[in-house]
């Protein structure tokens, strides 16, 4: 008999369900089924895969409200944020459907390098095989669609391993995938015990692993996976920079939406705010007024902006990070208040550049402010992090923007927007400990494929 686990609502700690872990025998049976389905899926025309993904988009839209409510119950994410997630998930399925029709190779002429003339190389993209897709708690439907959709579009079979907190929403998503036309031998769901994850990652029937989550889990995956293809979307310590010519109201709005939405539990959240000294006091005043007026409470209430973090342990970890900064000399301008899994919006000033809040990823609604006078002084501070995911800058000075684009160690720099900007067809990913490879539908399809060349 398999072990069970419980899922509770972060808002009121009510029991949402008790579920059995997938046994190792069940995992192996799923992998065997997926292996048996590979040939059929390889032979499924791209137009049919596109049709299935288009139908999935329709089903996601039709079931959007019910899924949004389920996301809110599972994660504590506000219903407003959950509805936005469902819109993005629907868009991702549409993009997967469109990109499934656009997978194309190229033809090369061998005469570019003598004496190898007289041949053509026809380069095609082919599926890797079976992709293990591992998703986190914070965007349970959207991130899952960003993995399952491109993997299926490329012709891979998929073993989907969600975070245990999201068992009910993951089951519902798989049901919709089946209803859209994905066969069971193309998609299987599993939630094995943590003790079984190393041998799952190492299993010879798994050809690639697409993971979103923390660096500790990624290290374990990489150690077990060996030569498998890895697509790892990890953490971030993303800067938001406000120059003296920036639009302050827009910058405050970005700070609020890119850090305090989803209770700050986003890899691309604006985790460090660098404010030019010429506009610091004005920005600070407007930020404190906006952040202090936000409603904290029941995530099912459309008026609530900040719900709970995922559990009390997460709230306690955030509290420790904030207290460490305060002990190191930071001052509290707003917040530093906790109750159960709730963390009130917190704004800190005079945060030392070498403390945890400035160097590590803190997954919560905390805004450390750093005053600067010259952009050159903040570049090494921003780069002094193991992460390098995204950044945002508010400025109309093209020279400053280009200089930051060249110097900052990030995968994306958004101009006059926050670091949380993401859209389905842009490449998404970072450098250093922020991950390996790129998501974004077209790019994820390539990551989960390999090139095969016919020489004629």
Query: pLDDT value at position 430?
Result: 96
Domains of the chain (ranges plus CATH)? 4-234+434-455 (3.40.605.10), 238-423 (3.40.309.10)
CB 62 within 8 A of CB 92: no
Neighbours of 298 (CB within 10 A): 17
Q: How far is CA 207 from the centre of its chain?
A: 22
Q: Which residues have a catalytic role annotated?
A: 233
Query: pLDDT value at position 115?
Result: 82
Six-digit token pair at 411? 């995968």
Look at residue 299 and tell me whether its pLDDT is greater than 90: yes
Look at residue 453 and tell me whether its pLDDT is greater than 90: yes
Query: pLDDT value at position 1?
Result: 60
Percent of the chain with pLDDT over 90: 96
Q: How far is CA 7 from CA 14, 77, 137, 306, in A?
A: 9, 15, 12, 21
Report helix, strand and coil shares of the chain as percent, to nearest 5.
45, 25, 35
pLDDT digits (tens, 9 = 90+) for 219-249: 999 999 999 999 999 999 999 999 999 999 9
Cα(391)–Cα(271) distance, rounded to whole angstroms? 10
pTM of the complete model beyond 0.85: yes
Query: pLDDT value at position 431?
Result: 97
Query: pLDDT value at position 116?
Result: 83
Average pLDDT, the chain: 97
pLDDT digits (tens, 9 = 90+) for 14-51: 999 999 999 999 999 999 999 999 999 999 999 999 99
pLDDT digits (tens, 9 = 90+) for 60-111: 999 999 999 999 999 999 999 999 999 999 999 999 999 999 999 999 999 9
CB 165 within 8 A of CB 17: no
Six-digit token pair at 348? 């800190």
Query: pLDDT value at position 2?
Result: 72
When pLDDT is averaged across residues 390-401 and rounded to a whole number, the result is 98
Residue with tokens 């897709």: 133
Triad 114, 115, 117: Cα angle to 5°: 85
Bond into 115 cis (ω within 30): yes
Helix (H, G, I), strand (E, B) or coil at 250: helix
For 95, the enclosing helix (H) or strand (E) is: helix 79-100
Read off φ and ψ for residue 379, nearest 5 degrees. Answer: -60, -50
Bond into 394 cis (ω within 30): no
Look at residue 327 and tell me whether its pLDDT is greater than 70: yes
Length of the chain: 456
Maximum alpha-carbon separation in the chain:
74
Tell me which residue of 50, 66, 86 sits closest to 180, measured CA to CA. 50
């Amino acid at each position: 008999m398999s072990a069970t686990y419980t899922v509770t609502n972060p808002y009121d700690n009510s029991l949402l369900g008790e579920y059995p872990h997938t046994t190792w025998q069940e995992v192996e049976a799923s992998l065997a089924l997926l292996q048996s389905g590979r040939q059929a899926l390889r032979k499924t025309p791209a137009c049919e895969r596109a049709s299935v993904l288009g139908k999935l988009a329709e089903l996601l839209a039709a079931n959007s409200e019910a899924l949004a409510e389920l996301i809110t119950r599972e994660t504590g994410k506000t219903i407003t944020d959950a509805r936005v997630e469902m819109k993005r998930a629907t868009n991702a399925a549409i993009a997967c459907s469109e990109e499934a029709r656009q997978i194309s190779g190229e033809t090369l002429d061998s005469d570019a390098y003598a004496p190898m003339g007289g041949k053509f190389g026809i380069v095609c993209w082919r599926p890797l095989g079976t992709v293990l897709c591992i998703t986190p708690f914070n965007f349970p439907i959207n991130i899952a669609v960003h993995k399952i959709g491109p993997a299926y579009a490329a012709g891979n079979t998929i073993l989907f391993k969600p975070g245990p907190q999201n068992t009910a929403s993951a089951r519902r998503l798989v049901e919709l995938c089946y209803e859209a036309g994905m066969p069971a031998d193309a998609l299987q769901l599993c939630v094995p015990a943590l003790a079984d994850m190393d041998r799952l990652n190492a299993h010879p029937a798994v050809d690639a692993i697409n993971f979103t989550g923390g660096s500790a889990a990624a290290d374990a995956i990489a150690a077990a996976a060996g030569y498998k293809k890895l697509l790892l979307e990890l953490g971030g310590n993303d800067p938001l920079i406000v120059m003296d010519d920036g639009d302050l109201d827009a910058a405050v709005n970005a700070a609020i939406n890119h850090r305090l939405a989803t209770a700050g539990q986003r890899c691309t959240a604006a985790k460090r705010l660098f404010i030019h000294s010429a506009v610091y006091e004005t920005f600070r005043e407007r930020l404190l007024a906006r952040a202090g007026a936000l409603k904290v409470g029941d995530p099912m209430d459309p008026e609530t902006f900040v719900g709970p973090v995922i559990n009390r342990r997460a709230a306690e970890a955030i509290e420790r990070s904030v207290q460490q900064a305060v002990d190191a000399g930071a001052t509290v301008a707003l917040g530093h208040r906790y109750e159960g899994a709730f963390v009130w919006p917190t704004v800190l000033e005079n945060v030392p550049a070498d403390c945890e809040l400035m160097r590590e990823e803190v997954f919560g609604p905390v805004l450390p402010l750093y005053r600067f006078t010259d952009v050159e002084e903040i570049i090494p501070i921003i780069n002094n992090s193991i992460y390098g995911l995204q950044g945002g800058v508010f400025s109309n000075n093209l020279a400053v923007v280009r200089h930051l684009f060249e110097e900052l160690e990030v995968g994306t720099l958004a101009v006059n927007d926050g670091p949380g900007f993401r859209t389905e067809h842009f490449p998404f990913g970072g450098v250093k400990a922020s991950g390996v490879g790129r998501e974004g539908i077209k790019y994820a399809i390539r990551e989960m494929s390999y090139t095969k060349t016919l020489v004629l």
